[in-house]
């Protein structure tokens, strides 16, 4: 390849940077966390943003960034292997190479929470914990700027829970509570079984002083939203992260359109009052 190729990178938003996997953590039977060596200084990301990850010859997928925002040397992604690109990504180990474009999209509004030291209620379903993990890192790093942090996390089975070591660490911080629930369990699970809205019923929060952030399957987010509103939380204080098919991530390919929005650039994080009416219409 000619030398000049890299000169184009600034000009061509479709050209990925190629980064090496520094560490691969197998989270569950279908999920892996890849830490990419980005010591050539990536553009800083905000919690909630995503990258387009390219696997050589296989294709590109939109994956949220799940690492600490203050680490400029490392890009972390947690990926569930469900398709033609993410499936083979599960097999990647230290030294493998991935293409990266990004970061793209809107961010979780941490300033809304830190401004006034409000409480933060996170609701995650399945892989939906990954896009919220940078929020947790930031809140713990700047602990005094925030009120209470409540993490409600649901997975299909106990074996599907992500970041198990960290979940245990997080709940040791003052003012942090972590509650887990699974759809079904066999054997040693002594925790709750049910859906995440069941978990929400066990939690007290002050609707005047709380911001909620939800990430998970769309149906889970709809139910969580309605339950939060029923409990008195204003829709303007609820945020959710949307998922759609994406090819370009910059608003050109049309795939992620949801009525007036392109999820890639208007989202993925939306204030619930802006997005909720659209989720109520089927197949929009």
Distance of closest approach, residue 133 Cβ to other proteins, in angstroms: 21
Distance of closest approach, residue 260 Cβ to other proteins, in angstroms: 3
Q: Give me the residues that bind other proteins (CB under 8 A), please.
A: 1-2, 4-5, 8, 11-16, 18, 54, 56-60, 82-83, 95, 97, 99, 106, 243-245, 247-248, 250-255, 257, 259-262, 266, 273-275, 277-278, 281-284
Distance of closest approach, residue 110 Cβ to other proteins, in angstroms: 17
Q: Which is nearer to other proteins, 57 or 187 (CB)?
A: 57
| Dihedral Cα 223, 228, 232, 237, nearest 10 deg | -120
The Cα–Cα gap between 102 and 52 comes to 6
Distance of closest approach, residue 252 Cβ to other proteins, in angstroms: 6
Q: Which is nearer to other proteins, 50 or 170 (CB)?
A: 50
Q: Which is nearer to other proteins, 160 or 266 (CB)?
A: 266
Tokens 């990925």: give the residue: 16
DSSP E strands: which ranges in 9-127? 17-28, 31-37, 50-55, 59-64, 74-80, 97-104, 119-125
Q: Which residues, including other chains, have CB under 8 Å from residue 243's CB and lie 6 or more apart?
A: 218, 263, 268
Q: Which is nearer to other proteins, 128 or 147 (CB)?
A: 128
Distance of closest approach, residue 2 Cβ to other proteins, in angstroms: 6
Written as six digits, the tokens of 157 are 């089975």
The Cα–Cα gap between 98 and 51 comes to 11
Q: Which is nearer to other proteins, 27 or 119 (CB)?
A: 27
Q: Which is nearer to other proteins, 5 or 70 (CB)?
A: 5
Distance of closest approach, residue 160 Cβ to other proteins, in angstroms: 15
DSSP collapsed to 3 states, 119-183: EEEEEEEHHHHHHHHHHHHHHHHCHHHCCCEEEEEEECCHHHCCCHHHHHHHCCCCCEEEEEEEC
- Which contiguous run of DSSP H or E holds residue 224? helix 218-230
Q: Which is nearer to other proteins, 21 or 149 (CB)?
A: 21
- Which contiguous run of DSSP H or E holds residue 276? helix 272-279
Distance of closest approach, residue 234 Cβ to other proteins, in angstroms: 16
């Amino acid at each position: 390849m000619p030398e000049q190729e890299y000169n184009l990178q600034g000009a061509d938003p479709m050209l990925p940077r190629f980064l090496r996997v520094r560490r691969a953590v197998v989270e569950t039977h279908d999920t892996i966390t890849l830490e990419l060596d980005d010591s050539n200084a990536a553009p800083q990301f905000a919690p909630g943003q995503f990258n387009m990850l390219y696997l050589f010859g296989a294709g590109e997928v939109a994956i949220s960034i799940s690492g600490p925002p203050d680490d400029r040397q490392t890009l972390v992604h947690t990926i569930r292997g469900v398709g033609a690109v993410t499936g083979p990504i599960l097999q990647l180990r230290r030294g493998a190479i991935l293409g990266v474009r990004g970061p793209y999209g809107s961010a979780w509004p941490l300033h809304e929470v830190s401004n006034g030291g409000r409480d933060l209620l996170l609701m995650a379903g399945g892989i939906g914990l990954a896009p919220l993990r940078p929020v947790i890192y930031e809140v713990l790093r700047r602990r005094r700027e925030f009120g209470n942090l409540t993490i409600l996390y649901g997975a299909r089975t106990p074996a599907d829970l992500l970041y198990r070591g960290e979940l245990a660490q997080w709940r040791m911080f003052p003012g942090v509570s972590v509650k887990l629930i699974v759809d079904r369990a066999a054997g040693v699970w002594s925790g709750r079984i049910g859906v995440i809205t069941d978990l929400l019923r066990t939690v007290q929060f002050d609707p005047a002083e709380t911001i909620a952030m939800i990430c998970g399957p769309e149906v889970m987010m709809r139910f969580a939203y309605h339950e939060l509103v029923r409990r008195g939380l204003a829709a303007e204080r609820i945020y959710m992260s949307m998922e759609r098919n994406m090819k370009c991530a910059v608003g050109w390919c049309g795939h992620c359109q949801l009525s007036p929005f392109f999820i890639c650039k208007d989202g993925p994080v939306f204030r619930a009052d802006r997005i909720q009416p659209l989720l109520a219409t089927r197949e929009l």
